[in-house]
Amino acid sequence: MAETGPAPEDLTARARIRDAALEMFAERGTKGATFRGIAEAAGVSVGLVQHHFGSKQELREACDAYALDTIHRLSAEKIDGIGDPGFLAKAMRIDLPVRRYLARALVDGSPAAARVFDDLVDTTENYFASDLPSGVNAPTTDDVHAYSAALVAMSIGMEVLHEHLSRVLGVDTFTPEGSLRLRRALFDVFDDRLLSPELAARARAAMREYESAELGRTPPRRRRRSHRGRPMREGRDD
């Protein structure tokens, strides 16, 4: 697969250090990664690593910022580039190292990982609150915050469980081949409607009844989609 973007030797020293740190943090975790190992991987001196990043914490924060910026940038370009093989090649090259990094960060359970997860939830929620591009439907939910959190957890959960996914699929999901297979499956999941409207309505009715009877709360009412794809308030769905 042809790759786009600068070759490693064309990157600035700071960018090479950051990319090497992404790999080291993903492979060894924050505690296991060292300035010396990162310097060797980046092809620079330890002194240069210390010059650009005074501490491991500062380097970790730079990696967090880069990972989030990459996710935001690719998400913004995704709809326009979704049918472009060239965009897919670029996304694979840039996205896979970031996914490896985020998976390890979340497993380590650091405060930085918590900030990353919270930021992704906020970004997803704000995205749904904005003017959505053509081809993207607004979610039919009265709890967009929980909806966004569940969506992020489903996505990030696949990164955290990549070893198990790779085992059952017989291919490393952090490689272009494995990632592509998983992406196809995800598109199928989002494209399918696994529950009939009748079964979904019965399930929601049961949850409303439980919430009212057992928790003493009035549950929110379900919304249906308008002809423009925007949600509309619906009186009943059972």
Please indicate, yes or no, if residue 63 is contained in any of the structural domains.
no
Please indicate, yes or no, if residue 86 is contained in any of the structural domains.
no
Q: What is the mean pLDDT of residues 5-20?
A: 74
Please indicate, yes or no, if residue 112 is contained in any of the structural domains.
no
Across the chain, what does the average pLDDT equal?
Answer: 81
Please indicate, yes or no, if residue 179 is contained in any of the structural domains.
no
Domain that holds residue 229: 198-238
Q: Where do we find the tokens 């090497």?
A: 20
Please indicate, yes or no, if residue 219 is contained in any of the structural domains.
yes
d(CA 94, CA 101): 12
Please indicate, yes or no, if residue 104 is contained in any of the structural domains.
no
Structure tokens at 67: 């990972």
pLDDT band of residue 14 (cuts 50, 70, 90) is very high
Q: What is the pLDDT of residues 190-238, one digit of tens each?
A: 888 888 889 988 998 998 888 888 777 765 555 544 434 444 444 444 4
Q: What is the mean pLDDT of residues 169-194?
A: 90
Which among 150, 144, 146, 151 has a CA at the least distance from the CA of 223? 144
Please indicate, yes or no, if residue 237 is contained in any of the structural domains.
yes
Q: What is the pLDDT of residues 127-159, one digit of tens each?
A: 888 888 777 888 888 899 999 999 999 988 888
Phi (first) and psi of residue 184, to 5 degrees: -60, -45
Instruction: Give how many domains the chain has, as a whole number.
Output: 1
Please indicate, yes or no, if residue 171 is contained in any of the structural domains.
no
pTM of full prediction above 0.75:
no
Hey, CA dihedral for 111, 117, 120, 124, is it positive or negative?
negative
- Residue 82: the pLDDT is 65
